[in-house]
């Protein structure tokens, strides 16, 4: 594989990671501030889980592209 192809593959992964980091930071704050006494706790945790699942899928796809 030539250098240009490697750069293109790693650029996609870097872009995926770049957009996920702020989201992960927000989710960690959500988890840190969650309280079992909070009425919205379960709903917030389920929303956070769905977001993490989407991020995980995107990262997996990006990883698969660079591991070809």
Residue 59's pLDDT is 81
Q: At what angle do helices 41-66 and 3-33 cross, to 10 degrees?
A: 170
Write the burial class of residue 44 (CB in 10 Å: 0-12 exposed, 13-18 middle, 19+ buried): middle
Higher per-residue confidence, 65 vs 54: 54
- Candidates 14, 27, 2; CA nearest to 63 is 14
- Candidates 59, 55, 62, 45; CA nearest to 23 is 55
pLDDT tens digits for 10-62? 887 788 778 888 888 887 777 776 666 666 677 777 787 888 888 888 888 87
Residue 45's pLDDT is 76
């Amino acid at each position: 594989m030539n250098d240009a192809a490697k750069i293109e593959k790693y650029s996609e992964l870097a872009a995926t990671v770049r957009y996920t980091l702020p989201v992960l930071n927000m989710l960690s704050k959500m988890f840190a501030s969650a309280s079992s006494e909070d009425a919205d706790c379960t709903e917030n945790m389920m929303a956070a889980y769905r977001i993490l699942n989407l991020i995980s899928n995107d990262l997996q796809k990006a990883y698969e592209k660079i591991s070809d």
